Amino acid sequence: MAKVKTPPIAENEHVKEFMAILRENNTPSSQDFLAMLKQVGTMEKQLEAAVKELAAMRQELKEAQEQNHPIQTALRKTIIVMQGQVLNLRDKLADLKQNVIMGCKNAVAAFKENGITALDNATRFFKVRPILETLRNELDDNIRFGNTAIAKIETISTSYHQAGRHLKNAGRAMLGKEAMQDVKPNGKLAEVISAPFRAECSCFAAMKKSAEAAIGHLAKLEERAKPSIQKTMQTLNEQIAQSKKDTSAIERHNPAKAER
């Protein structure tokens, strides 16, 4: 799988500038935003680990093909699906990073134009919740698929292992020899073959946990923004009420104008 290396999100100039503004002004949002950003960076590393596990899967497939193992078809189909899952996650994560970067850029511009009050509701600059929730849900689907695939791989491997033992014992019986007891744990082959697939599911599970943590920090940011939004609505309502009072006062003092 071709890999295009992109700088970690924490190294982006717009992200660093926005974080500097939050720290310098000691805003309550800085800790939650930094925590959310950290989870995005963690997902980047977890995705890299998932890509490496794909290479281990391909090696298992290569060995199965060389041995003409009956599991090769199941391995090939599973790898194709999981590779598609990783590519899709990469695209989603790239969109997430881009939205965070653009949000930081817009927030910095608003700060420079209107001062620190522009950041009272900083979450309006970051359209990331839908992407984070999609990532979480897709990772959940990926994990379920992976677990089903692992179960299938283990069933095929174990059956092949047992068939080989029965065939050897049949040969020994024809020679009048006692059937040998299998000293290897049943399913050992399945365990070896399924190992990278289990590791891939672990990467997906870790990414899901990071996505959920990021959503949690985002929720805190949104909660902090509510007082600011409520204050803005209250101010607008007061302005509307005052405008109505002013209009009524004018009508009382100028009845002729009111009639027109």
**In this structure, which amino acid lies at residue 229?**
I
Q: Do the domain assignments include residue 188?
A: yes
pTM to 2 decimal places: 0.73
Q: What is the mean pLDDT of each run of 10 residues along the chain (260 residues)?
A: 68 92 82 89 94 92 85 90 96 94 93 85 86 96 94 77 44 47 54 88 96 93 64 46 55 56
CB 73 within 8 A of CB 247: no
Q: Do the domain assignments include residue 49?
A: yes
- The label of the residue with tokens 């020899």 reads 177
CB 152 within 8 A of CB 194: no
Q: Do the domain assignments include residue 65?
A: yes
Report how far apart the first and last C-alpha atoms of the chain are (Å, whole number): 76
- The label of the residue with tokens 């599970």 reads 205
Please report the pLDDT score of residue 170 as a whole number. Answer: 42
Q: Do the domain assignments include residue 119?
A: yes
Please report the pLDDT score of residue 121 as a whole number. Answer: 77
Question: 80: which residues sit within 8 A by CB, 6+ positions away?
Answer: none
How large is the C-alpha radius of gyration of the chain?
Answer: 30
- Give, as one character, the DSSP assignment of residue 26: T
Q: Do the domain assignments include residue 103?
A: yes
CB 206 within 8 A of CB 162: no
Q: Do the domain assignments include residue 30?
A: yes
- The label of the residue with tokens 């995005």 reads 40
Q: Do the domain assignments include residue 80?
A: yes
- Give, as one character, the DSSP assignment of residue 71: T
What domain count does the chain have? 1
Domain that holds residue 76: 9-229
Please report the pLDDT score of residue 54 as a whole number. Answer: 93
Please report the pLDDT score of residue 229 as a whole number. Answer: 41
Please report the pLDDT score of residue 238 as a whole number. Answer: 47
Q: Do the domain assignments include residue 237?
A: no
* Region at 254 (left for phi over 0; alpha for psi -120 to 50; beta for the rest): beta
* 53 vs 40: CA distance, rounded Å: 20
CB 217 within 8 A of CB 126: no
